[in-house]
Structure 1
């Protein structure tokens, strides 16, 4: 396997392994254990039943939550879409009127992208929704689409230097802006998750909205979503929604107005 292995000077029961440059496929300790199993022979391993009790498989809580949101949004008349997780840097930032990524939410970049369309891993679901509408804009309006999927951010404190966040996003596109439609969808899905609407930060436990100035949206027609779940926890901003700015619509070649909603759903676990 081209490894150079010798006992660790501090622990005789540990091996220190040097990986040659020719083994670019070795990334983690599990890859070394896989090579050891291949060298030993999978057929030479003893076969026996695991010493565990019978159990019933269950979905991860995050995936179960995502499925609940998909069902509720579909029952409200919205169609689910599944765009690609890769996009260009301009689509993720400049086309949404954000010239550069914020310092605390940097994207994961591809080292050698084959095309300009696949440069980074998305940090927002909105570009994928708008590109989906762009490719289907010859269909009848209004269009009501949503997506429940992951976005990715750099996180140097983790083993893989990145973290995933599960987001929920929706877009209304038609001859009217549909601001009240995405607002109604927000109230439906959060209410279904037993979230209570409160009148501002001092209204108690629950969620509320506050006007916010975001260049992605039309001035004076956007709001941030805040939530507080326990008396001792601070208020947390989990998303935004509003009417898209005309320059954003122009970048995505959309002639009609539209409104979008995006929020982090992991806070509801």
Structure 2
């Protein structure tokens, strides 16, 4: 201690040291600080290694936190940037999402008593307006925006003082698919519905989940370019391209703007559940394309489900790779092309077996959906 300009008086009986602290050492205020100074100068590496006297407490998992961090990791890996916006909003901004409906009722929202600005007077019930405003401001300086936010919304509950605060996930994307750079051959096509759908599929795959897409009804999205997403019997939320009138209301440029808002708690409710693993077959697969013509209102997912059910267990995967509408299929019709993978665990499939199964699939599609095979 004397080497550090501390003044140490000789020990008394029993051994007690009186130490005067130099005026410039304002950080030394307790006896334990003196012990730390001695250990630092003596060398921590010279102390013998010992175990802690106490046991560590039992480690408990936090599925909600771990799942939320997993969602963040997947979305950042897809090229999105996380943002954090204000929980206090102007309810008129939320009204812009439903232009055909009456203005939001202030009584249905939680209002701050001592708000500083009318733009920060109410607690939000959706994340989407805040992200659309963030995208608009950033588009003043850049041509491409791909952002997401994970945050709480505040829903009043009758008879309760405090509101429910469910977690939501919101994504907004607009601009070219690839940012401008010196690399040649970049894809400068504007991002659209299927770009957002790819992000959702990557997110679900990263969580080990399988989702279904059905026609959506949210008025903020363009009819025909919106979908409701579910995992099993749990509805996550809706996604799609913004309606042009909604874009105009938020001051966004005239280009496709994709967005979604999911219930994060519903998304993570099935995450982490045990999954059944199947052995990998050592026998070669057989790949085949199947194109059928169906009515315009027949969902592509319904066709895929029937193919998978009819071909089980030899049909291992069914992937839609083309949708065609035009004169060759007629008005009110569409052509759906699927890539099928046939494979058995115990043998190599013959051409006859594949042809027989293919015919069985076609007969069921004709019987239940009125589908015809496209030549």
Residues 99 and 186 of structure 1: is their aligned pair in 2 closer, same or farther, counting only changes over 3 Å? Answer: farther
Instruction: Give the SS at the match of 2:153.
Output: strand
CA contact (8 A) 1:241 1:262 kept: yes
Structure 1 residue 177 displacement after superposition: 4.8
Query: Compared with structure 1, are the counterparts of its residues 60 and 141 closer, same or farther at alpha carbon in structure 2 (3 Å cutoff)?
Result: same
Matching residue of 1:133: 135
Of the three residues 189, 192, 208, the one matched with 1:178 is: 192
Deviation of 1:261 (Å): 1.2
Tell me the distance in 1 between the aligned counterparts of 2:168 and 2:126: 8
TM-score (norm 2): 0.49
Identify which of 222, 225, 232 aligns with 1:221. 225
SS in 1 for 2:165: strand
Deviations 1:132-175 (A, max 9, x none): 111111233221111111111112354x4311111111111126
> Which residues of structure 2 form unaligned runs of 5+?
1-53, 177-189, 270-375
Runs of 4+ in structure 1 over 3 Å off: 56-60, 98-102
Q: 1:62 maps to which residue?
A: 64
Shift of 1:112: 4.2
Of the structure 1 ranges 85-94 and 171-180, higher mean CA displacement relative to structure 2 is found in 171-180
More relative contact order, 1 or 2 (CA 8 Å, 6+ apart): 1
Q: Which residue of 1 aligns with 2:244?
A: 246
Shift of 1:239: 0.5
Structure 1 residues 82 and 59: alpha-carbon distance in aligned structure 2, compared to 1, 3 A threshold: farther
Q: Could you say what the CA RMSD is over the residues aligned between the two structures, in angstroms?
A: 2.5
Count residues in correspondence: 199
Tell me: CA distance 1:191–1:144, structure 2 relative to 1, closer, same or farther (3 Å): same
Partner of residue 99, structure 1: 102
Mapped partners of 2:265, 2:62: distance in 1: 12
Alignment check: 8 A CA contact 1:213 1:220 kept: no
Distance in structure 2 (CA, Å) of the matches to 1:155 and 1:60:
27
Report if the CA contact (8 A) 1:249-1:257 is conserved: no
Q: Rg bigger for which structure?
A: 2
Deviation sequence 1:7-51 (CA, Å, 0-9, x none): xxxxxxxxxxxxxxxxxxxxxxxxxxxxxxxxxxxxxxxxxxxxx
Residue aligning to 1:187: 201
The gaps in structure 1 that reach 5 residues or longer are: 1-51, 197-206, 229-234
TM-score, L = length of structure 1: 0.67
The superposition leaves residues 51-99 of structure 1 with CA deviations (integer Å, 9 ceiling, x where unpaired) of x963267674322211111111011111111111111111122344353
Helix, strand or coil at the partner of 1:152: coil
Check conservation: 1:177, 1:243, Cα contact below 8 A: no
Distance 1:245 1:107 in 2: 25
**Residue 111 of structure 1 is aligned with which of 110, 113, 118?**
113
User: Which position in structure 2 is the counterpart of 1:30?
Assistant: none
Q: Are the structure 2 counterparts of residues 195 and 157 from structure 1 closer, same or farther at C-alpha, using a change threshold of 3 Å?
A: farther
